[in-house]
Structure 1
Amino acid sequence: MAPPEGTKLILCHIYFFVGTHGRVDRDGPFRLCVQFSEFTAKLDDGCSVDVPWKSDEWVVDCRSYNLEMLKNDLKARVNWGSSQQPVVHGFDMSGGERKLLNDTDLFRAFSERMGDSKLFLFVDVEDKPTEVVTEVAASNVGHDNVIGPIDSNKEAFVSHAIDWDSMEIIPLGQDQIGAALPVMDEDAMYEFVGLRAEDERAEQSRMAATINLDDMDLQDTDMLVHDRVPGEDSALYDREDPPMEAGTIYASMNEFRAAVKQHAINGKFQLGTEKSCKDLFRGYCKAEGCPWSIVARLMPDKIQVRVTLNKEQHFCPSTARLKTKMASYHWVAEKAIPILMKHPTMGAKKLQEELEDKYDITIGYGTVHMGFVIAGEKIHGTWEESFGYLFNFKAEIELRMPGSIVEIDVVNKEEGVFFHRFFCCLKPSIDGFLNGCRPFLSIDSTALNGRWSGHLPSATALDGHNWMFPVAFGFFDGESTDNWTWFMQQLQKAIGNPPHLAISSDACKGLENAVKNVYPWAEHRECFVHLMKNFSKRFQGPAFGRMYPAARTFQPEYHEYLMNKMYAVNKNVEPWLKANHKLKWMRSKFSKAIKCDHITNNVAEVWNNWVKDIKDLPIAELADTLRSKFMELYARRRRIGEKFEGHVMLPIVVRQLYAMSRQLGHLKIKEGGRDEAEVTEVTDSHKIIRHVVNIQNHTCTCREWQVSGKPCAHALLLITTHRNPKMEDYLDPYYSVYHFRLAYGGVIKPLPDKSQWVRVNPGFKVLPPLTKRDPGRQKKLRTPSCLENKGNKPRGKGMWQVQCKQCLGHGHRSTSPKCPLNGTKKRKSRAKKGKAGRPLGCSKGDASPSSSKRQKVQVQENSGNNSPGLVEVPEGTSQISTSPGAVTRSQMQITLAGFGGTNQISTSPRTVTKSQAGEGASNAITTPRRRLGLKKKLTPKKAKKIDV
């Protein structure tokens, strides 16, 4: 079997203690005792065979025996593949182990044991070291955990046991040691054990077994028998959009009248009878100038009606708009039904994209939404009728799965009987939770997205892999104390009163009160995430970061130490926590019998994400869809459990402990006995902590082993000091394969569609709930809080985009030049204006500078002056810019009358200082001398013609 992609084989050497027996003559035969450790042989034909522990012995001549001969003798007794090699170990004189690499090492081993005439060796079979994984090996990942040679004719597949030791476990960080996170999720394990490959082969076999009509022999088609009546006419048509073409047959005159009215709007059509023939009917449009009319005649049976004449299609101005809209709605619904049947969780927006891409058209979202609603009603039925089907669903569940708890609560009013709330807990879920899961329940609710603004409460648990295990669900109108109490009472009917039970919830006060009323003896935990959201709004600062280690530590003493540090910073912390968060949110106070150390309510969040795409279904359809998801989930994990044959504990959990045991360098041990020791830990803050471990009682003074059910890092250090330790012996039974199979051992029965359910007459008509949703478009996603990343994310280009009203594109407005519908526009003049709004250089009475007054400005270069260029300004100019900024070349037309008759100005773009502006003797503003050492030279530019 090829190893999974990205992994390498991790082989655990199994060593054996041997002794010496007796002495023999040096010249006599030398007895070789060899013991093979357990390994998986990967044969060249692609098969993998588990080889058990084995021992053998034979006589050799030590004077001529070499390592190559030893390997040949081993190969004759144990078989392995060409990609593997034996590794031989022997004992040295100090009692340790020594690897035999060449003939010299073997000869030395013989020499040391010459007095006993017996040599003990033990052999491990490992994979040959390879640096590059071939594509062929990588392609076998997760497919055929071991597939034998495939016969092209029979396509026979041979499966073998899963080699769990061939998996590579990602080492955990120091901060993750002891965490309850699984190493492999459900999808990855489903592929690793080969179930996905089995599904693909089953699908290929099913497709191959499909009858090909092109290959069928149709020579004897005249032998086929048809149940057909000669002359029988078909009267099937779409009642929502009945055909009006000539030759269409209607079952009766009333159906024809209804079909004509289907095309009518506000009585615009009139149905009359011709005087000449009582069997002739005519419909026409009352709109002025509309030529449309239709004629129909009774059939000979005097019941059916046939359309005999339809002059043209009806598109008069009075009816065309609404008729086209209704036809568009039904066209979208017709095309959407097969798509929604294939993808039940598709939304209206995704459906719009699907239809536009498939038919190369543009459809408005409003049209698609209306067609989406119509298609949903045709598939699932109307929203009002779905509440009555819950009674049929209850009867069907109780008939097929006796022992299930399904309860429906209604409210009697003067207007009728209204639906109130619903609860469902299937029998396999009850047995799976009580027999195979830890006594831990996560309870929460999520808002529905359909026409009813109700809630979907749920109770979920954890299996041995820390996978979400759904237990029960229901429906009610809001998270009130009354609704939660009713839900918890029904849950109590299902699971009873277990001796040990922990219930985790968020900051919902209604649920908190309900748990106190129904399960007052249970350990009620609170989600630490919700607690910190409330805590951070009132207390901020680095000192309050101790809340996180205070919640995660298992030691009550360390928890109290951290909390006292925060109490000393702010005296309001302690009374606020005692008043608002009295539940258990710290590991140091968790019960040892639960074997679950989760401080968050993330199990409920996994459930919410699992059902988010179906929350807009009608109530009866939603309940049946959830049952179907339960059935599929249980069957999928039941198949995974069947792959754990030969294992006592879950292999992934065991491999996680082996991975953790390789990161214990920060711990030191002092053994007091075989099962007890002192383990010293040096933290990052150079603090020394010492713990006492007892592996026989499964205890450690850090309390992590007792609370989680898995050995902590301190216990692993003592466990690994023993030779050939078995991690399975130190895990709690909740992590066993036996409990995992019990959790998913029950089978949830399949159900037919609701039209075939047991019909129940409750004696009244169930009306929709009294509470209706708010007007407007229903929200599909919840609004994130201010403390979440999406809540305080600044508005950016990628998050918010404007839409053009002309081209309907995004990223620009209708007046932007980016719009393709906007032509090239003439740019406005950028001529600078003076104080009175006139261009610079104009006199007070002129609107624009006269052409006769325009003069050329000559630039005189004075080599003896520091200024590289001076501009001579004519007399009579009176305007100058008052801006304190730099004097640029584009401002050479500025006059210097305000400087006392100044007639020269530097053309260098440098700032005019006050000292330069006040110089009356020189009457010039010059550029300061450049500092020595600068490489760049100031070169005067060419003069420009400027109007003055």
Structure 2
Amino acid sequence: MYEEEEEKKVIIYATTEKITTLEDGVRIDESLGADMDTWENEYRLEDFEYGSDYCPSEDSYRSLDNEYEDEIDIEYEGEFYSHDKDDPKMDVGAQYPHVIAFRRALSHYAITHDFEFDLGQSEPTRVTATCANRECNWRIHAAVAEDGVTFVVRTLQEKHTCCGINKSGNKHANKAWIADRIVDDLRKEGDVSAKELKRRIEMNFGMSLSYNRVWKAKELAIEEIYGKWKDSLVQVGALKEEIMRRNPGSVVELKTQPEVGKERHFQRFFVALGACTSGFLIGCRPYIGIDVCHLKNKWPGVLASATAIDGNNWMYPVAYSVMEVESEDSWEWFLTALHKAIGMPHGLVISSDMQKGLQNAIEKVYPLAEHRECMRHLFSNFKKQYHGDLFKFGLWGAARTYSPTRFAAFINEIEAECPAAIQYLRKDHNKLWSRSKFETIAKCDNLTNNIAETFNNWITEERSKPVVDLIDSIRQKVMMKFEQRKRIARSLKGPLVPKVADYIKQISRSLGGYDLRRSTDHCAEVQKSGIRWDVNLEAQECSCRAWQVKGVPCVHAAVFISSLRNASWENYVDPYFKVARLRIAYANGIATMPSKGEWLTLDLGYKMLPPILKRPAGRPRKNRIKSCDEPKKRSHKCTRCGQFGHHRKTCKNAVPSQDGEGTSHGEINQKLKAKRVTSKGKAGSKKRACPPSIFKLLQEENI
């Protein structure tokens, strides 16, 4: 036994040359008398797999058998030491792949050891650096090796005796070094704000950085990940060809800005995968939500989407497109491509938020479609002018009711109090927004366009990528989502989808208080609290119209169905909500695609340039424009002194009156009361209280 263990230095080699490891662990040894020329002709590097049993780690090509490690010394031509970029070693003999790698490692080494250095020599073949503190004798010299590429540390003098300087910043923490630190975070997390990246670096390295430097470093890191901006759309033609070739039935459209010569600027790109369109036409309800969201990359374009809804109320992507701006022309181009992909299904419903130019585009391309307006956006605009419980409960009650009679009752109550509000709705919001006006073919009673908002939220991380990577990433997400839904649909048991099965269980527990009076085997009257509905099971109709619009039995029909012996609920549910139809929607899969470097090269006849950037006038906005119904931070204003930051009860400020003396609290209260009385008596006030008749209609609607 050794009294003291010897320290051994482990050297890890990496090489791009052919390795000297054969199958079954056989190694080249001088004692074997192997002919190297014969071996190189019979074995190639491609015959061996990385990470196999022949290699113990990714960083080492040493043999698995350590018995002869000390006896064999193999010369590797063009080798270099593998180094950790997060913890570089500045030792004599340390090797780096090239001069740039050494310079980056030297900068990171200086930052992590809290010092700065000056370059005495900085050439492609040699680099010499000394400590910026003249009293410190630290010095390092590295030069190129015999292969003309590898950089080797030749000399290293002294250790540092100077103090750390990182707290006030380090000149070596330039944008290139910062980009090298944040590139992995951007690869993993997608879009990370420059503010957050600045916070992470300052916390990890204990230094102070400017926001502008971090922002430029982020641009440099994004360029390293996705390539240069001017070359970001070179492969857009190959992407179009690859999608259409691998996915039969797909519709892919590319539009450029016409220019003279062999160069054109990108403008729009549309994708409708064949599996999505075919599944929508035969497996989903004819309902599409159209919406748009803004991109977060260098190009301030928009991403338009057409999203459907399957039988289980899941989001079903149909098509998406990248466009330069929201306009009537761009929307017409998008809808024309969508019409080419799905045609005009029977009973098609298009729901939207009334974007710029979209209404006119729908009337041109889909004149026969049922156009619905998102109720949430309608009410957000409506309450800017008319606010109060009367308009809130009255308008939402009119939107939620399925009965045309009750819709008219709600509207009449509002019109009796404020005729201008109804005139505003008829003029500016003349599309369908009430369930009482919905047709009964689509079997969807959605009042909002939330299904399209769901798609926008689903692709939030992808919106910061360049156009080609953005389109390919969305295709990949849709591919994975379809495969997941296909497995779920295959595993479902029972005839009905889970959402409908849960709905039937829920309404079956709330049938108390209803009286059933049967007329025939299929017709009956259902009554509660003096209100009566007639139900026809054979026609699947109820006088409340909820069954016809939704496609699933309402609570009144459930009372009749529950009274039947051995009744099967699946016979009274529309086929859209059955598991068989759900499986058809996800039957076709989306084809996989290799990396961009392996796509087919396509000659478009011209060079594709990035879109023309048009910066708007003025300073760019830092925060988005919030909707009027979003909560906003407000500073309280004191009603006594008029200053902000405190309440009247705690106000200690003296309030001068007209004669120069302070005003008492009693005088302030009298003035406030007089002001309230005056404001209440003003004519034309738009804030109205909700009358009892509105609440009565709401109670009857919930029966």
Say yes or no: TM over 0.5: yes
Letter in 2 for 1:563: I
Distance 1:738 1:487 in 2: 32
Task: Choose 1 or 2 for highest CA Rg.
Answer: 1
Distance 2:548 2:416 in 1: 31
Aligned match for 1:411, one of 238, 257, 265: 257
TM-score, reference length from structure 1: 0.52
Alpha-carbon offset, residue 483 of structure 1: 0.7
SS of 1:551 mapped into structure 2: helix
The alignment's C-alpha RMSD in Å is 4.8
Matched, 1:640 2:488: yes
Kindly report which structure 2 residues correspond to 1:221-300, keeping only aligned pairs within 5 A, or say none. 230-234=76-80
SS of 1:550 mapped into structure 2: helix
Deviation by residue 1:134-180 (Cα, 9 ceiling, x = unmatched): xxxxxxxxxxxxxxxxxxxxxxxxxxxxxxxxxxxxxxxxxxxxxxx
Distance 1:562 1:884 in 2: 49
Change (3 A) 1:534 1:227: farther
Kept after mapping to 2: 8 A contact 1:245/1:310:
yes
Kindly report which structure 2 residues correspond to 1:701-780, keeping only aligned pairs within 5 A, or say none. 701-772=543-614
SS of 2:357 mapped into structure 1: helix
Letter in 2 for 1:485: E
Counterpart position of 2:304: 457
Distance 1:883 1:676 in 2: 79
Kindly report which structure 2 residues correspond to 1:439-454, keeping only aligned pairs within 5 A, or say none. 439-454=286-301
Distance 1:760 1:238 in 2: 40
Alpha-carbon offset, residue 455 of structure 1: 0.9
Kept after mapping to 2: 8 A contact 1:528/1:585:
yes
Gaps of 5+ in 1: 1-208, 274-278, 683-687, 797-881, 886-948
Matched, 1:334 2:169: no
Alpha-carbon offset, residue 709 of structure 1: 0.2
Change (3 A) 1:253 1:627: closer
Counterpart position of 1:699: 541
Counterpart position of 1:389: 235
Change (3 A) 1:322 1:398: farther
Matched, 1:377 2:377: no
Counterpart position of 1:584: 432
TM-score, reference length from structure 2: 0.69
Change (3 A) 1:454 1:272: closer
Deviation by residue 1:445-487 (Cα, 9 ceiling, x = unmatched): 0111222211111110111111111111111121111111111
SS of 2:316 mapped into structure 1: strand
Distance 1:493 1:884 in 2: 74
Distance 1:600 1:280 in 2: 66
SS of 1:538 mapped into structure 2: coil
Change (3 A) 1:567 1:460: same
Deviates more, 1:531-540 or 1:454-463: 531-540
Distance 1:280 1:584 in 2: 74
SS of 1:660 mapped into structure 2: helix
Change (3 A) 1:373 1:255: closer
Kept after mapping to 1: 8 A contact 2:168/2:208:
no
Counterpart position of 1:603: 451
Counterpart position of 2:399: 551
Kindly report which structure 2 residues correspond to 1:84-123, keeping only aligned pairs within 5 A, or say none. none
Deviation by residue 1:856-892 (Cα, 9 ceiling, x = unmatched): xxxxxxxxxxxxxxxxxxxxxxxxxx9999xxxxxxx
Change (3 A) 1:726 1:397: same
Kept after mapping to 1: 8 A contact 2:312/2:498:
no
Letter in 2 for 1:624: D
Matched, 1:524 2:364: no
Counterpart position of 1:484: 331
Distance 2:662 2:349 in 1: 76
Alpha-carbon offset, residue 764 of structure 1: 2.7
SS of 1:532 mapped into structure 2: helix
Matched, 1:672 2:516: no
Distance 2:519 2:394 in 1: 35
Distance 1:340 1:256 in 2: 24
Distance 2:427 2:121 in 1: 76
Letter in 2 for 1:380: Y
Letter in 1 for 2:298: R
Aligned match for 1:616, one of 464, 479, 482: 464
SS of 1:679 mapped into structure 2: strand
Deviation by residue 1:25-84 (Cα, 9 ceiling, x = unmatched): xxxxxxxxxxxxxxxxxxxxxxxxxxxxxxxxxxxxxxxxxxxxxxxxxxxxxxxxxxxx
Counterpart position of 2:246: 400
Alpha-carbon offset, residue 658 of structure 1: 2.5
Alpha-carbon offset, residue 592 of structure 1: 0.9
Distance 2:125 2:317 in 1: 65
Distance 1:635 1:702 in 2: 39
Change (3 A) 1:323 1:259: farther
Letter in 2 for 1:748: I
Distance 1:259 1:212 in 2: 27
Distance 2:125 2:547 in 1: 91
Identity rate, percent: 36
Deviation by residue 1:640-661 (Cα, 9 ceiling, x = unmatched): 111114x222144123212202
Deviation by residue 1:646-695 (Cα, 9 ceiling, x = unmatched): x222144123212202212243221111211111232xxxxx33221001
Distance 1:381 1:272 in 2: 28
Kept after mapping to 2: 8 A contact 1:449/1:779:
no
Change (3 A) 1:303 1:751: closer
Distance 1:280 1:549 in 2: 79
Matched, 1:512 2:359: yes
Alpha-carbon offset, residue 442 of structure 1: 0.2
Distance 2:372 2:121 in 1: 72
Distance 1:625 1:377 in 2: 17
Distance 2:521 2:602 in 1: 68
Letter in 2 for 1:378: E
Alpha-carbon offset, residue 744 of structure 1: 1.4
Alpha-carbon offset, residue 381 of structure 1: 2.5
User: Greater RCO between the two (CA within 8 Å, min separation 6)?
Assistant: 2
Kept after mapping to 1: 8 A contact 2:328/2:360:
yes
Change (3 A) 1:294 1:759: farther
Alpha-carbon offset, residue 742 of structure 1: 1.2
Distance 1:523 1:883 in 2: 66
SS of 1:615 mapped into structure 2: helix
Kept after mapping to 2: 8 A contact 1:392/1:759:
yes
Counterpart position of 1:426: 273
Change (3 A) 1:346 1:256: closer
Change (3 A) 1:664 1:211: farther
Change (3 A) 1:633 1:345: farther
Aligned match for 1:794, one of 634, 656, 659: 634
Counterpart position of 1:570: 418
SS of 1:409 mapped into structure 2: strand
Distance 2:152 2:53 in 1: 42
Distance 1:775 1:496 in 2: 41
SS of 1:692 mapped into structure 2: strand
- Considering fraction of residues, name the structure with more helix: 2
Change (3 A) 1:281 1:691: closer
SS of 2:526 mapped into structure 1: strand
Aligned match for 1:630, one of 456, 460, 478: 478
Distance 2:221 2:197 in 1: 11
Change (3 A) 1:303 1:673: closer
Kept after mapping to 1: 8 A contact 2:489/2:579:
yes
Letter in 1 for 2:634: P
Deviation by residue 1:502-530 (Cα, 9 ceiling, x = unmatched): 00001224111111111111001111111
Distance 1:725 1:540 in 2: 48
Distance 2:610 2:446 in 1: 39
Alpha-carbon offset, residue 783 of structure 1: 2.8
Distance 1:443 1:490 in 2: 14
